[in-house]
Structure 1
Amino acid sequence: MIRMVSRLIFLVVVSLLLSVSSVGCTHTVAPANPPSHSKPAPPATDSKSTQNNDQHSSRNSSSSARNQNHHSGSPMKISSSHQKKILQSEELAREGRVVNTEFQVEKNTIDQVEAKYGKGKRGEAAEPWNRYVTYPGGNLSFGVNKGEQIYDVRSFDPSLQGLRLWEVKKVLGKPDDTKTYQKQAIYIYQVTKEIQLKWVFSSSDPKAKVDHISVVNPQLSKNLMVH
């Protein structure tokens, strides 16, 4: 009997020890991954969409440039008739004359002019020994020196008065010299060693129109008795 009681006590003690041992045993759980502080990757870019956006931006830039040119009022193209008239004036100037007359600087006298056109309207020149003889009906004026020699032929032809400053400069290039008289701008081109072609504009504005042209030999305007 005693032996049985002792055995029961032994079994109870063993059972208690096993129970305590199982309670003390814990499972270690791996900690969760710490939150990442790195920035999220940007979304993938659609190359086709980017290309379309670039093309759209390029078109907008081109359109803006065209609009800017349009509103700037800058001349774009000279007409063929105006170009022809400017080149014709330069070619005639090399011969010492202007359109619609055969009389030339240096080679003709005022007597020859009056023999064909009659007496013109006489006016003063910058130099007291010179004078001008004008024919309003023919849109012509002749500068005459002391020896009755023609040193200047001017044309006020309406076909020339439709030309603009920017057109002349575009066709003939930069002038050899420029002057101003009151509000007028004068572009001077040396067409030969002795002869100058002067374009006289109403102002210095690029859109200013021609008032008249002058084909002149400055040396002949001088008082040869003095020089």
Structure 2
Amino acid sequence: MFLFNRKSIVKITGALSLLFLVGCTNSQKSSLNSDANKVKNDVNNISSKTYINGPKKNQKNNSAQNVVLADIRTYAIQGKVINSDYTIKNTNITSVQKMLGKPDSSTWIASAKGLYSTYSKHNIVFGSNKGGQIFEIRSLDPKLNKISLSMVKSNFGTPKYDVKTGGRETIGYTAGDQFKILFVFPEPTKSNPDPLMTNYSVLYPAGTVNSMANDRGRQW
């Protein structure tokens, strides 16, 4: 039988306590290291993922274009384009000429049902019928040249109108009950599958109707 005095018992108890604390500390360190490595791996995995339904890498880069597209939608419902205070339906080409002067060019386009007056300095083209009523305003604003076909479809959805002709693709959407929006792009190709916009216009189809000639006018 072994006999321990009180001093020996105290020493042994202290040693055991120290071993226990060291063991717990090592265990905690190991656990913390394991958790830290797991978090680090999770972060790396998230960073390496390509978002499909979530945020896109170029979302910030497209923010300016998204603002322009939002303005296009807002003004179109009012019968306007983004870089002009003139309103289709209620404006006559004569009043435009009084304010802006003689256009750079005026061309009658039979297929479009009107006279198209270009003001290059103002990046604007007005389409007017035989009575002088403006039924279409086309914007040539340089900001449009940074907006791609996919951006428009992403913002406006599937177009109501989509025609490819003469090396161009024109897509259209309704804007309220009376007006329509037409976006024009170079026709997509293998080398340029997502072309940038060249111009867009707001159209008032009823302004192209010629009842005297039994002409139902344009829809797009």
TM value normalised by structure 2: 0.66
SS of equivalent to 1:115: helix
- Could you tell me which amino acid in structure 2 is paired with residue 124 of structure 1? W
Which residue matches 1:166? Answer: 150
- Could you tell me which amino acid in structure 2 is paired with residue 150 of structure 1? I
Matches within 5 A, 1:172-211: 172-204=156-188, 206-211=193-198
| Count of aligned positions | 162
CA contact (8 A) 1:165 1:201 kept: yes
Give 1 or 2 for the bigger CA radius of gyration. Answer: 1
- CA-based RMSD of the aligned residues comes to 2.5
SS of equivalent to 1:207: coil
CA–CA distance in structure 2, aligned partners of residues 163 and 128 of structure 1: 25
CA–CA distance in structure 1, aligned partners of residues 120 and 140 of structure 2: 9
Q: Structure 1, unaligned stretches of length 5 or more?
A: 1-55
- Could you tell me which amino acid in structure 1 is paired with residue 160 of structure 2? D
The answer on 1:153 being equivalent to 2:137 is yes
The answer on 1:93 being equivalent to 2:80 is no
Deviates more, 1:146-155 or 1:74-83: 74-83
Which residue matches 2:201? Answer: 214
Deviates more, 1:77-86 or 1:163-172: 77-86
Identity of aligned residues (%): 27
- Could you tell me which amino acid in structure 2 is paired with residue 200 of structure 1? V
TM value normalised by structure 1: 0.64
Q: Structure 2, unaligned stretches of length 5 or more?
A: 1-40, 215-220
CA–CA distance in structure 2, aligned partners of residues 138 and 163 of structure 1: 20
Which residue matches 1:139? Answer: 123
Query: In the superposition, relative to structure 1, how do residues 179 and 114 fare at CA in structure 2: closer, same or farther (>3 Å)?
Result: same
Query: In the superposition, relative to structure 1, how do residues 91 and 218 fare at CA in structure 2: closer, same or farther (>3 Å)?
Result: same
CA shift for structure 1 position 112:
0.8
CA shift for structure 1 position 129:
6.0
